[in-house]
Amino acid sequence: MADKVTFELVSPERLLLSVQAEMVVVPGEEGDFAVLAGHQPLISTLRPGSIDVYTEGDKISSRIFVAGGFAEVSLDRLTVLAEEARRFEEIDRAKLPAQIEAAKAGVDEAGSDELKLAAAEEKLAYLQHIAETTTVS
């Protein structure tokens, strides 16, 4: 399939998605980038955000939230290794406010421990992105 890119999303728990896509938009550390068939090879770190998968035309067929990770792109394949990933439809939006408050408390509790603070801030950013995106959709 020369006009499609093979996309695989793997989290520590499972293979979340494996599809042929026209385009996949990924939240790279430097900004979002789109991957289509024939893309130049690259490896990128990911920031917390959503991966949008387009399998037919300009309508998003799948939206998956990732907490971070890595993306490897070749001419006909995109592989994302996510630290944490959840499908849009798996998210319980009613629980998000409490999860965000708990993440904020985690940031406060981390104090001057740089590793704990970085992990807590990443978790908070991930949850805030989910909340912002799910209220728009």
Is the domain of 97 the same as that of 81?
no
Is the domain of 79 the same as that of 105?
no
73 burial (CB, 10 Å; 0-12 / 13-18 / 19+) is: buried
Is the domain of 69 the same as that of 10?
yes
Is the domain of 73 the same as that of 102?
no
Q: Which regions of the chain are under pLDDT 70?
A: 1-2, 134-137
pLDDT digits (tens, 9 = 90+) for 64-93: 999 889 999 998 999 999 988 988 888 888
Q: What is the DSSP string of 39-92?
A: PPPEEEEE-SEEEEEESSTTS--EEEEESSEEEEE-SSEEEEEESSEEEGGG--
Is the domain of 9 the same as that of 61?
yes
pLDDT of 117: 92
Domain boundary, last residue among 88, 107, 127 = 88
* Whole-structure pTM value: 0.79
Domain limits for position 100: 93-136
Is the domain of 83 the same as that of 97?
no
Is the domain of 83 the same as that of 99?
no
Is the domain of 34 the same as that of 61?
yes
pLDDT of 137: 43
Count of domains observed in the chain: 2
Is the domain of 24 the same as that of 67?
yes
Is the domain of 100 the same as that of 81?
no
Is the domain of 36 the same as that of 66?
yes
Is the domain of 84 the same as that of 100?
no
Q: CA dist 105 to 87, 98, 101, 127, Å?
A: 25, 11, 6, 13
Domain boundary, last residue among 88, 107, 128 = 88
